[in-house]
Amino acid sequence: MPTKTVQIPTPDGQADAFAAFPDHGERHPGVLLYPDALGLRPELEKKAGELAGHGYYVLVPNLFYRHGPAPVFDLPEHIGEEARPAIFAQLMPLVEAHTTERVLRDADAYVGFLTAQPEVGAGPVATIGYCMGAALAMRTATAHPGQVAAVAGFHPGFLVTDAPDSPHHRIPELTARVHIGLAVGDMTPEAIGELNQALDAAGVEYTTEVYPDTIHGFTMADTDAFNPSALQRHWDRLLPLLDRALRNSGS
């Protein structure tokens, strides 16, 4: 499985990113995969490689490239609960600095780079995100409705907030198929209802689902939140979504 580190030109500099893609020569549908707040690391590279094995070109950007190349700070091989306070003390200023304006500038650069790769086909792309990356995937999909045909978010953060620029306010512009896979307690029933109402109003095909017996972060095998059966459920939802949206199989 070919993998490489690439540099994506952005209005604010060069974003380093990880790319994985099939090892045969033809062109493949593109997938932009946004990491969780812990950033680009081996766990995200593993997910990209698995998706590439299903026939996709997968691009995983370093969200915090303005602060340095990945890893922006050292992470343990397994991110246990005891390590999280110190990690998040370093991390939160980076998250807070990642404003909506920056997110949208970066999204333009990432989508443009992805679609220009010689290994990527001419059709639509998908955006996927984990934790805070789910909001970035949604923002990218609503900002690029003509290019993004599928959006998926898992154990999402910040999808529905009280802020005037909450991602859910842009959903009327969405044209993509959607799956949102929630951990128990990720969003209140009221917030889920608000999200579903926005998706209904957009007239898009979507599913929102609370995965049973999960906590926030359930897809990440390098954390204590990991739940193997929920990770499999995530693949069982994600792969058919991508296949239908990007390969035009089925209705």
Give the model confidence (pLDDT) of 127-164 as tens digits. 999 999 999 999 999 999 999 999 999 999 999 999 99
Residue with tokens 């997968």: 58
Model-wide pTM > 0.75: yes
CA 99 to chain centre: 16
State how far the Cα of 13 lies from the Cα of 211, in Å rounded to an integer: 38
Give the model confidence (pLDDT) of 32-89 as tens digits. 999 999 999 999 999 999 999 999 999 999 999 999 999 998 999 999 999 999 999 9
Residue with tokens 């990690």: 87
The region, left, alpha or beta by phi > 0 then psi within -120 to 50, assigned to residue 157 is: beta
Nearest by Cα to 157 from 195, 212, 197, 196:
195
**Does the domain formed by 3-247 have CATH 3.40.50.1820?**
yes
Instruction: Note whether 19 and 31 are within 8 A (CB).
Output: no
The pLDDT value recorded for residue 25 is 80
Break the chain into its structural domains and give their ranges.
Answer: 3-247
3-state secondary structure of 12: coil
State how far the Cα of 223 lies from the Cα of 38, in Å rounded to an integer: 10
Strands 30-34 and 57-61: parallel
